[in-house]
Structure 1
Amino acid sequence: MGLRFIFMLTRNDRTVPDASQQLQTALSLGVRHIGFKDIGLPIEQLKGLNAAIKTGGATSYLEVVSLDPESEIASAKAAAEIGVDVLLGGTRVDDVLPIIKGTGIRYFPFPGRITGHPSVLEGAIDEIVESAKTVAGRDGVHGLDLLAYRSAENVPELMKAVCAAVTKPVYIAGSIDTPERITVVQSAGAAGFTIGTAALDGKYPANGNDLPSQLTAIIRDVAALNKHLSPIHKKNLSIEFAWLHAPSAPKVELHVNSMQIKVAMFRGASSWSFRQHDDQLFFVHRGRLLMKFRDREEIIEPGEFIVVPYGVEHSAVALSEEGCEVLLTTSTARPAAQPREVTSLTLSDPS
């Protein structure tokens, strides 16, 4: 699992009044982890917010910011009533665990001593690490919510120490507002992080201060860290085939996982053959191709393709005197013992 970005619909530890509107912006951009606080909106509106997050296909998070036992218990009950997926924050594990037991809520409390509002993490690194080990060791605790950037200690060292001390995932919260800080979070071994105020107030480095620009920049930066950006750009088949001169010498364009993509010029007839482990797709760009099988023959016109499964004898014949331009894709490294699975393909009529 890559580094997880959790967008918080909050400012200064309160759910923002226009959370529903901001939520739709986040969902439209593909944000899939979205949270809010138990303070700022009435519980009925929080229920509606949670339902909208789930309807939009995202995971919902509620972060507790209560400072006294009674408020934290009330927050845990609210989380159960609202039906969130994940409960973040809080420090009173003994009080919360019985409340959320059997609800399916995943629980990520704060390690360390939390004071103030907005919340601050107090204590030395060693103290916070010991707290983290104790809290993460409890049954029913699924991970930790570390207010690293709300600590006066060396934040990178704090994050590394906590992540190294526990086997459960650690989310980082508090004042993450630059790509550099996100990189440090990933380097520390954290599973994810939250951003709320920075995005809503337009503080993250982006092309604009509006929320779409802010979220787009954060998503892009996280995708880059997770190596989820594609280095492959579009290609023009006419240009690629113009560089191809010799028949029977396919030019390899690129590899994508176990698939090889080539451009090839077919002239005349190829010998009968079969591939032992690889499936092939023949897409005709220009010209006409006759594909001979032992039981039939098929003519593939420009804009059409045919799949030849591994183990099937075939012979390809170019029907055009000037040759036939074919985009050829070949799956590779198929285990010999793997059974073939044939699926049907249906193409919609573009007209």
Structure 2
Amino acid sequence: MGLRFIFMLTRNDKTVDDAEKHLKTALAAGVHHIGFKDVGLPFPRLKELNQAIKDGGATSYLEVVSLDKESEISSAKAAVEIGVDILLGGTNVDAVLPILKGTGIQYYPFPGNIVGHPSILEGSIEEIVASAKDLTSREGVDGLDLLAYRSPGNVEELMAAVSAATDKPVIMAGSIDTKTRIDDVKTSGAAGFTIGTAALDGIYPAEGEDLDAQLRSILKDVAEVNNHISSISTKNLDQSFSKFDETWSPRIAGQVNNMMVKLAKFEGDFVWHYHTVEDELFFVHKGTLMMKFRDRDEVVNEGEFIIVPHGVEHCPVAMSDVCEVLLLEPATTVNTGNAQDDRKVKDLGKI
């Protein structure tokens, strides 16, 4: 699983008044993890906001910024009633765990000493790591919400130390506003990070300051950091087939998991054969193909395809001078199957 981006509908540790409008933008952009704070909006609106997040197919997060025990207990009870998926933050773990028990809500409290509003993380790296180990040793604590960029110390060292201190996921929160910082979060071994104010205020480097441009820039950078950007461009079949003349000698044009996309030119008759374990798909791009079976012949015209299951003996025949065929078959497939033939090709060229 790649680094998780959580968009927070918050500014300066408060849920923004126009959260519903921003939520629509986020869902349209394809954001899959969306959160809000326990302050800033009345409870009924927070409940409706959470339902809208879930109706949009996203995972919902509530982050607690309450500093006193009673307020945090109230926020935890609200999280249960609202029905969020994940509760982030908070420091009164012993008081919150009994409230969440049996609800299915995942719990990621703050490690370290949290003060002020907006929240600041105090303490040395050693102290914060000790807190992280203590918290994650408890049943019911599913991960950590680390205010790494709200710490005055060495942030990169802090993130790496806390991530290494536990097998449970760590979410980095607070003041992440560049791809460089996202890279640092990924390098630390964290599971994810939150961005709120930076996107809402148009601070994140993007083609525009509007929220849609901000979110799309963040999502692109996260995809690049996760190595989830495709390097594959379109291929034109006419151009690809024009690059070779040999017949009965497939070329590799692409790969989908363990399935090869191959291009081949057929001329005349091939050899009767079968494949022990591999199924094959023959799609005719140009010309006409006859697929001979022991019980019948099937004519495959341009724009048509035929699937030959493994174990079925067959013999492809080009009915036109040259037939251009796209094949989809496992990487282990040898063109002559079980037959011995001079046209057997072991090392395939690429297009």
Whether TM exceeds 0.5 here: the answer is: yes
CA distance in 2, matches of 1:163, 1:171: 9
What's 2:238 paired with? 238
- How far 1:163 sits from its partner (Å)? 0.7
CA distance in 1, matches of 2:63, 2:294: 65
Give me the TM-score of the superposition, normalised by structure 2.
Answer: 0.93
AA paired with 1:332? A
AA paired with 2:264? A
CA distance in 2, matches of 1:217, 1:136: 33
What's 1:193 paired with? 193
AA paired with 1:12? N
CA distance in 1, matches of 2:332, 2:132: 45
What's 2:282 paired with? 282
- How far 1:333 sits from its partner (Å)? 4.8
CA distance in 2, matches of 1:293, 1:214: 58
The reply to whether residue 31 of structure 1 matches residue 54 of structure 2 is no
Task: Verify the 8 A CA contact 1:91 1:109 in the aligned structure 2.
Answer: yes
What's 1:331 paired with? 330
Task: Verify the 8 A CA contact 1:174 1:194 in the aligned structure 2.
Answer: yes
Aligned counterparts, 1:34-45, within 5 A: 34-45=34-45
Bigger mean CA offset, 271-280 vs 83-92: 271-280
Q: Deviations over 1:305-334 (max 9, x none)?
A: 11112222111111112x111111211359
CA distance in 1, matches of 2:81, 2:47: 8
CA distance in 1, matches of 2:115, 2:241: 67
What's 2:340 paired with? none
What's 2:65 paired with? 65
CA distance in 1, matches of 2:15, 2:296: 66
Q: Deviations over 1:83-133 (max 9, x none)?
A: 000000000001111111111100000000000110000011111011111
Task: Verify the 8 A CA contact 1:278 1:332 in the aligned structure 2.
Answer: no
Task: Verify the 8 A CA contact 1:244 1:264 in the aligned structure 2.
Answer: no
CA distance in 2, matches of 1:21, 1:299: 57
- How far 1:302 sits from its partner (Å)? 1.0
Task: Verify the 8 A CA contact 1:277 1:333 in the aligned structure 2.
Answer: no
Query: Percentage identity across aligned positions?
Result: 63
Q: Deviations over 1:115-168 (max 9, x none)?
A: 011000001111101111111111100000000000001000001111111121
| Structure 1 runs (4+) greater than 6 angstroms displaced | none
What's 1:121 paired with? 121
Q: CA RMSD in A?
A: 1.2
CA distance in 1, matches of 2:290, 2:213: 51
What's 2:132 paired with? 132
Aligned residues: 333
Aligned counterparts, 1:302-321, within 5 A: 302-321=302-321
CA distance in 2, matches of 1:333, 1:81: 54
Secondary structure of the 1:285 match is strand
Task: Verify the 8 A CA contact 1:291 1:300 in the aligned structure 2.
Answer: yes
Secondary structure of the 2:247 match is coil
Secondary structure of the 1:26 match is helix
What's 2:336 paired with? none
CA distance in 2, matches of 1:333, 1:188: 39
**Structure 2: runs of 5 or more not aligned:** 334-351
